[in-house]
Structures are given as C-alpha cells and as structure tokens.
Amino acid sequence: MMQSAGRKFLYGDAALAKIPSPRLEIKRVPCLKDNYGWILRCPKTGTIGLVDTPEAGPLLRELKANYDGRVDFILNTHHHWDHTGGNKEIKAATHCKIIGPGRDGQIDGLDKAIEGGDEFKFGDLTVKVYDLPGHTRGHVGYHFPEANAFFCGDTLFVLGCGRMFEGTKGQFWSTLQKIRGLPKDTVVFCAHEYSQSNAKFARYVDPTNECLKTASDVITEMRGRGEATVPSMLADELLCNPFLRVDDEAIQERAAELTNTQAHDLNRRPRKGMEPAKYAIPDAEPRVRQKPKPRGDGTRLENPRLIKGAD
C-alpha cells in the first residue's frame, strides 16, 4: 500500500508554478464546455504559440488583451474538432503558421507536418515531438525539456486517459509507457477538465492506494472552489493514475489475471454512474469522430454516434 503522509499533490496553478521561470510562460484558456487551450510565450524571443484551438473566440480575446493580438504558431496535437476548431479563424486573424501531425491528414490549415522524433525551435526552446497513437492514429505530444513541460492533448488526463478512437490497445499501452519514461518532474498539460470523474473511477479500480485517496480529496476541494486542476505533475500521475499503472501489482490484482492491454481495456472511467464494464473498449473498427451539430442557442449536442462521455 502506498503512503501519502506528508506528500503534497500539485494540480492546476500549483503545478503550473513548477515551470522554470523565465524559460516559458504558459496561460490556460478555458474553451467550450471542458476544454483548455494553451498560450505559450518564450520570454527571451517573444515568440507566441497556441497548443490546440478548441474554439477561436476565447483564444483571440486573450491574445488581444495580453499579447497584442499576435501569435506565431499553432501546435495541434491531433485532428479532432475540439482541438482544431479555431485554426482557420485564428490563422486568418493573425497569419500564424500551423504545425501538426501530418499522419492525421485532417488538420485545418496545416503549414508544417511533423511526426515523432522531430525537433524544432520555439523561440530559444527546443521542442521534441512524441508519437502518441491510441486516441487517434496520428496523435502527437510536444515536450519542452528545458521547461519541464509536456503537452499531451487527449492521450493522458489527470487520473485518466483518452478514449481509443482510431488506434489499438497495444499502441495505446506503448504510448503510455513513453509518457512514463519522461522525467518525473515533468508538468503534464492535458486538454480537458475531467479530473473529478476520473478520480472516482481511479478509486474504484485502485481502492487501497492512499496516495490516490489524498489526490482525489485535493481535486474534490479544488473543483468545489471552481479551480482548474490542469496541469498536473507526472510524479503524481505515476503514483495515482491507474492507466499508467496497469502493470502494477495492485491494479493487476484488481483486474484478476488480465494482461497489461486487457487491464487497460477494463480500466475505462465511468461517467454519470455507469459501471466500468460498460466502458470496456470493444474489438471493433476505428470510429471517426464527428463534430456535433450546434443547438439553436449555440451550445453543442452530444453526437449519438459516439460512445457516451467520449473525450
């Protein structure tokens, strides 16, 4: 059993404060219902970038208010509409360049295609590209090693992970192992505020984990105050996130005699009180994620073709 006595779990602004100053400035921008877009600025060169564009409005307003309306690059993690929905409008307004995975073939306005193993400069900072197949086939992550920052899109969440729309179970497990190999002091930036529901499921599959219980309590308190819980620390995820621990003895015992990929298959977070078994990923053909049709009042509907609660 893990012990949490004396350990302080860092989420949201507390984790963001662990980014070495003045290497990289990062601003969280809430978008849509539960998405986050990220504004990056290199203090040394003034280079400004966005990681994913769930929608244009909030990002353009923040850019106008605090960044002279300027942005140099958009870094897309994958092609889903709630990560690229603002690409065209922001590019038209700012003439920025869009960087993203060429393998997806569906990034709006893509100027530079990248893949795992590539490196490029963001101001004076090196960016290393990681292939993260699973949620989509072409999903990538952006690692800023000098700033201890990793932007993982919908691959890993606080105490959870993304749904497998296009990849395979083996690919997703391999992807999660890549993330486990990053330095433990890495600050992990995901794209959705799912922490509270993830925590409930994590405690279902890992009920004896005292670290997880403490982390869950911290998250519940933060969300009760309306605070964001993203980003998080990789060190905390390694202790508490069941998707990074499916080969751990406690998780294996909970999942009986399943293999790593089967345990990953079992450990789907429930939404709205549904039992975990109903969230197991079937062996089926990949699904194409469709953009929901808007309501008349501008809010978005769940697409009935998708798995309920999909990321």
| Residue 154 is among the residues annotated as catalytic for this protein | yes
Residue tagged active-site, from 72, 104, 131, 135 = 135
Give strand pairing partners of 150.
143, 188
| Residue 192 is among the residues annotated as catalytic for this protein | yes
Q: Report yes or no on 4 lying in a domain.
A: no
Residue tagged active-site, from 139, 143, 192, 264 = 192
| Residue 264 is among the residues annotated as catalytic for this protein | no
pLDDT tens track for 106-165: 898 999 999 999 999 999 999 999 999 999 999 999 999 999 999 999 999 999 999 999
Residue tagged active-site, from 52, 72, 79, 83 = 83
Q: Report yes or no on 300 lying in a domain.
A: no
Range of the domain at 41: 13-279
Q: Report yes or no on 24 lying in a domain.
A: yes
| Residue 265 is among the residues annotated as catalytic for this protein | no
| Residue 111 is among the residues annotated as catalytic for this protein | no
Based on the structure, what is the number of domains in the chain?
1
**What are the start-end ranges of the E strands in the chain?**
25-31, 35-41, 48-51, 73-75, 97-101, 112-114, 119-122, 125-131, 140-144, 149-153, 156-157, 160-161, 187-190, 232-233
What does the pLDDT read at residue 38?
99
What does the pLDDT read at residue 183?
98
Q: Report yes or no on 264 lying in a domain.
A: yes
Q: Report yes or no on 292 lying in a domain.
A: no
Q: Report yes or no on 34 lying in a domain.
A: yes
Q: Report yes or no on 152 lying in a domain.
A: yes
What does the pLDDT read at residue 170?
92
Q: Report yes or no on 197 lying in a domain.
A: yes
Query: Could you state, in chain order, the average pLDDT of each consecutive group of 10 residues for the chain (311 residues)?
Result: 68 97 95 98 98 99 98 98 98 98 90 98 98 96 99 98 92 96 99 97 92 98 98 98 90 65 48 34 35 38 27 43
| Residue 143 is among the residues annotated as catalytic for this protein | no
What does the pLDDT read at residue 251?
84
| CATH for 193 | 3.60.15.10
What does the pLDDT read at residue 149?
99
- List the Cα angle 115/229/276 in 5-degree steps: 80
| Residue 68 is among the residues annotated as catalytic for this protein | no
